[in-house]
Amino acid sequence: MSATHILVVDDEPDIRETVRDILEDEGYTIANAENGEAARRALRERRPDLILLDIWMPDLDGISLLKEWAEDDGLPCPVIMMSGHGNVETAVEATRLGAYDFLEKPLSLAKLLLTVERALEADKLVRENVGLRRRTPLVHEPAGRSAAMQRLREQVKRIAQHDTWVLITGEPGTGRETFARFLHSQSARRERPFVDLGVSAIARGNAARELFGSEEGGHVHYGSLEQAAGGTLLLDEVADMDLEAQSQLLGALDTGSFLRVGGSDPVAIDVRIIAATQRDLKEEVREGRFREDLFYHLNVVPLHILPLREHAEDIPDLLNFYVDYFATHEKLPYRRFSVGAQNFLRNYNWPGNVRELKNLVQRVLILGAGDEITQTEVETALGSTATAPAQPLEGLVSFDQPLRQAREQFEKAYLDYQLDKHAGNVSKMAKEAGMERTHLYRKLRSLGIEIKERR
């Protein structure tokens, strides 16, 4: 597992070496670049976690380089500017372009270390907040006190201590991603990124760019393998990967490196891969839809997540967990499930597994009233999921708000309904909605709607 990687860009050799020695003593790995062109090469070779960038250099000044990076996909990581001839205008311009901070030369050892530490921590918080906005669940230990769940949690903790690849299988809604995140949180890679790549959401022919990144006209786009460097990459619904992409991924895994699309220099792989699928990959191999050699690469350690009906004794714990979750994180009213409601739910078949249970809890907390959730209320809520009558527009959208917000509210309700109706099948959903798939994917992302939650 790689340490935090910092790129130091400065035309003065003494400063480069001094900064390298200081930061390496703190456990960071350092790459040096003596000018702007060397910095461009360094970014092509490896995505850094932080850049220390001098402003005044002979070939290309740091502000121009910062502007160039910002105009690509945005800055690849936090950037701290350095200068012995700084002024307020330069600092303001650097900040406007996205620089995290500005250090004056001669560098103060204490201030350098503190600024680097704070920049890395701020970047980590930004990534966590982006995950929250995308409705990514917080990392928590999967709930349940049954013998089956206790065995599963212990198995995950044992697997996490070894840097092996894992194949997670299970029905839709069983919590495959939850277990993948829990595994990452228990591993030595926990301080490095966890990147979730939804394979089924990748447009056909675009898998190589999403996985490996690309280079074009000197601009670098970092793919998921580099974004997860040192950490964990979850290939969600890996069975949906087309054969060409499977072949490219296999080549990368065989050699331990890959080429970005349009690139010529190999990039080393340093990542734990967790693959997840609801399908039987052995059957997919027999049918010729999945490469056998890739299957054996990914299936180093298999982990099967049980459907909820096979550990129904955990349902009371799960109900309590999600009531607490929504009361804490979404400020919904706290309500408790009656004994009758809990017994009814323990005998329900749960075709949608834990995802269905979570949605049920959220629904009764939003729509119900009173301290107790009764069996009748639960039966009504579950019945409405199977035969939901068309709701009047007034029930979906508040008319006492600006038109743009009302439109977004309606679009979200409409697309939520379509996703549930088609069990997350975007092709069927796009056909019924009369939308082109690429446009539909963009719309779902802009509204914060997760496709994989419906599978």
Q: Which pLDDT score is estimated for 249?
A: 93
- Average pLDDT of the chain? 86
Q: How confident is the model at residue 130 (pLDDT cuts 50, 70, 90)?
A: low
Q: Please, where are the H alpha helices in 59-142?
A: 62-70, 88-96, 109-133
Site of tokens 């069983």: 174
Mean pLDDT across 378-382: 90
Nearest Cα to Cα of residue 336 among 395, 377, 381? 377
Mean pLDDT calculated for residue range 95-104: 88
211 confidence band (pLDDT: 50, 70, 90): very high
> Looking at residue 247, what is its pLDDT?
93
Q: What is the pLDDT of residues 299-331, one digit of tens each?
A: 999 999 999 999 999 999 999 999 999 998 888
| 199 neighbors 237 (Cβ within 8 angstroms) | yes
**Weakest-pLDDT range from 10-24, 249-263, 320-334, 441-455:** 441-455
Predicted confidence (pLDDT) per residue in 419-428, tens digit: 777 777 777 7
Choose between 334 and 136: higher pLDDT.
Answer: 334
| Domain regions of the chain by residue span | 5-133, 147-306, 308-389, 393-455
Q: What is the pLDDT of residue 133?
A: 42
Q: How far apart are CA 43 and CA 265, in angstroms?
A: 11
On the question of pLDDT at 263 being above 90, the answer is: no
Q: Pick from 273, 282, 276: which is nearest to 174 by CA?
A: 276
Cis peptide before 106 (omega within 30 of 0): yes
Q: What is the mean pLDDT of residues 391-401?
A: 57
CATH number of 308-389: 1.10.8.60
Do the domains 5-133 and 147-306 sit in the same CATH topology, yes or no? yes
pLDDT the model gives residue 389: 40
What band does 35 get if pLDDT is binned at 50, 70 and 90? very high
Q: Running DSSP on this structure, what letter comes out for residue 453?
A: G
Backbone angles phi, psi at 215, to 5 degrees: -130, 130
Burial status of residue 331 (CB atoms within 10 A of its CB: 0-12, 13-18, 19 or more): exposed
Spatial neighbors of 83 by CB under 8 A, at least 6 apart, are 54, 55, 56, 62, 90, 102, 103, 104, 105
More reliable by pLDDT, 439 or 363: 363
Helices vs strands, H then E, count in the chain = 20, 16
Distance between CA atoms of 32 and 20, rounded to whole angstroms? 8
Model pLDDT, residue 455: 53
Per-residue buried b or exposed e for 364-383, using 16+ beta carbons within 10 Å of the residue's own CB: bbeebeeeebbbebbeebbe
Instruction: Say what the pLDDT of residue 147 is.
Output: 93
**Residue 418, pLDDT above cutoff 90:** no
pLDDT at residue 134, as a whole number: 43
Domain 5-133 has CATH 3.50.30.10: no
Domain 393-455 coded CATH 1.10.10.60: yes
Section 12-38 average pLDDT: 92
Tell me the per-residue pLDDT of 172-199, one tens digit each, with 9 for 90 and over. Answer: 999 999 999 999 999 999 888 899 998 8
At residue 284, does pLDDT exceed 90?
yes
H/E segment holding residue 159: helix 147-160
User: What dotted CATH number matches 147-306?
Assistant: 3.40.50.300
Q: How confident is the model at residue 86 (pLDDT cuts 50, 70, 90)?
A: low
Both tokens assigned to 428: 């069927």
Q: What is the pLDDT, as a whole number, of residue 400? A: 65
Q: How far apart are the first and last CA of the chain?
A: 32
Confidence band of 88 (pLDDT split at 50, 70, 90): confident
